[in-house]
Structure 1
Amino acid sequence: MQYEIKQENDFHYIEEGNGPTLLLLHGLFGALSNWTDVVSHFSQRYRIVIPLMPIYNLPILNTNVKALSEFVHDFIKFKQYKDVILIGNSLGGHVTLVYVKNHPENIRGMVLTGSSGLYENAMGGSFPRREDYNFIKQKVEYTFYDPASASKELVDEVYGIVNDKGKLIRILSLAKSAIRHNMSDDLQFMTLPTCLIWGKNDTITPPDVAEEFHRLLPKSELHWIDKCGHAPMMEQGKEFNAILDAWLAKTFPKGE
């Protein structure tokens, strides 16, 4: 991703474009680059903000979903963003939900894609053979409908993470925290407009998870993408952007 990573205080983030603020949150093994297609498509009409979440920098005893949501709150407060639309993938969707539960006043709407928060086959659950490169490659490929979407660069990145003891401990802590922090009792009270964009072939947060989110979130719409796994904005970026574009235009006409 050829965008400037800005640094202010302890925050590292990308900020591109002008207009209503779309704040994008990556997942457990995610990175800023997960959102390349979204940034290039929307930055002509929206302010696109992607904070790098401190997944590997939190104190071990405070490595949990709530701590990440408070990091996002501190970031939004520091930047003085108003009327934000939060967009979260995987763990980033879960962080979005916890944030909206605790700080709804800052948020106009939310978009969840492959979100944890109800149930997931956690990729971060265990790595019994983490030194086996092919094993890690298969785990990464499992994220996508088309295994070819798991680039060597992505596999190398995940392999490096799970073989770094400090990072692995935090990955496991966050995966366990996500499972413990079930949001099913909270969703009925979240009345913000919500767009659910889901891969029909998601094996980590399967389609029935999307249907349950849709049932429990009062103002939600559910959109499916065929031949698509757990990261629609990466694997089917064009279709993801088309769905998001239409939903934003309909829900917040003329950016109002």
Structure 2
Amino acid sequence: MTDKLKTEGGFTYAEAGEGPTIIVLHGLMGALSNFGATLNYFSNNGFKVLIPELPLYSLPLIKTNVKNLAAFLKDFLEYKEIDNAILLGNSLGGHIALYFTKHYPEKVKALILTGSSGLYEKAMGDSFPKRGNYEYIEQKAQQVFYDPKTATKELVDDVYETVNDRMKALKTLSIAKSAIRHNMANDLLHMQQPACLIWGKQDGVTPPEVAEDFNKLLPNSDLFWIDKCGHAAMMEKPEEFNTILHNWLTSGNI
């Protein structure tokens, strides 16, 4: 994906394709590369895909929260001159998409949520391992997935570096507390945008009942399950994820 990476206007992001715009929002421990298969597939099938690098660790500590991450998204859309976009978010990224939709509904064409936080208060905190030795961090990272092999050494190394960096650890906790404060349960009923929910049946971070609650509360949502899949369906089962999403996007839902 590095060949598609740009740094301009104060933003670092991947961009590819032409067509309706999909903005991809990664999670707290997520990297842009987590959505590599998503970007490649949809940019070659009639969509423009942009994946901004969220300023999780570059904002001042006092501003490291869901509200300011949504403000960052607004600034990014304005910079790219995008008035109306499909928002795709995993974990924290889904929460940011929901908060943004609450405040700027006219800018959101559709919502795609996979393993999203926003309802289940413990999701963010439970998914962030405390400091510890490498083996402990590796075990916690593997628990995010149904198949522990999905947690590559590169991924584990990144998590280990983050949790052992004092400032990054503080900012991670700040985001986690912010996610609890900004529970979206009372806001979902007012979101009329078409919503596609794609969930791993074995998601242990935002369990299946969280997806069911999202589906009940969002007025115009469709829920799809992927079996033998954990918290990051677009990484663990990319072909199934892309097929489900492509069918949904091209079946008159938006």
Identity of aligned residues (%): 53
Paired position in structure 2 for 1:71: 72
**The 10-residue stretch of structure 1 (20-29 or 119-128) with the greater mean CA deviation from structure 2:** 119-128
Secondary structure at 1:85 match in 2: strand
Q: TM-score, normalised by structure 2?
A: 0.96
Paired position in structure 1 for 2:228: 227
Cα distance, 1:93 vs structure 2: 0.1
Question: Are the aligned partners of 1:120 and 1:206 in contact in 2 as well (CA < 8 Å)?
Answer: no
1:19 is the counterpart of 2:19: yes
Q: How does 1:1-256 map to 2 (within 5 A)?
A: 1-44=1-44, 45-122=46-123, 124-125=125-126, 127-128=129-130, 130-251=131-252
Cα distance, 1:62 vs structure 2: 1.1
User: What amino acid maps onto 1:168 in structure 2?
Assistant: A
Aligned structure 1 segments of 4 or more residues deviating by more than 6 angstroms: none
Note the residue ranges of structure 1 that are not aligned, 5 or more in a row: none
Note the residue ranges of structure 2 that are not aligned, 5 or more in a row: none
Q: Distance in 1 between matches of 2:129 and 2:201?
A: 26
Cα distance, 1:33 vs structure 2: 0.3
Q: Distance in 2 between matches of 1:178 and 1:116?
A: 8
Cα distance, 1:181 vs structure 2: 1.1
Instruction: Call closer, same or farther: CA 1:97–1:233 in 2, change over 3 Å.
Output: same
Cα distance, 1:120 vs structure 2: 4.8
Instruction: Call closer, same or farther: CA 1:120–1:151 in 2, change over 3 Å.
Output: farther
For residues 140-187 of structure 1, give each alpha carbon's deviation from its aligned partner in whole angstroms, at most 9, with x where no partner exists: 011100111111110001001111111111111111111221000000
Cα distance, 1:107 vs structure 2: 1.2
Secondary structure at 1:197 match in 2: strand
Secondary structure at 1:186 match in 2: helix
User: What amino acid maps onto 1:151 in structure 2?
Assistant: T
Q: Distance in 1 between matches of 2:216 and 2:3?
A: 38
Question: Are the aligned partners of 2:94 and 2:114 in contact in 1 as well (CA < 8 Å)?
Answer: yes
RMSD, aligned α-carbons: 1.3
For residues 173-231 of structure 1, give each alpha carbon's deviation from its aligned partner in whole angstroms, at most 9, with x where no partner exists: 11111122100000000000000000000000000000000000000000000000000
Question: Are the aligned partners of 1:225 and 1:239 in contact in 2 as well (CA < 8 Å)?
Answer: yes
Secondary structure at 1:185 match in 2: helix
Cα distance, 1:139 vs structure 2: 1.0
Aligned residues: 252
Q: Distance in 1 between matches of 2:124 and 2:78?
A: 32
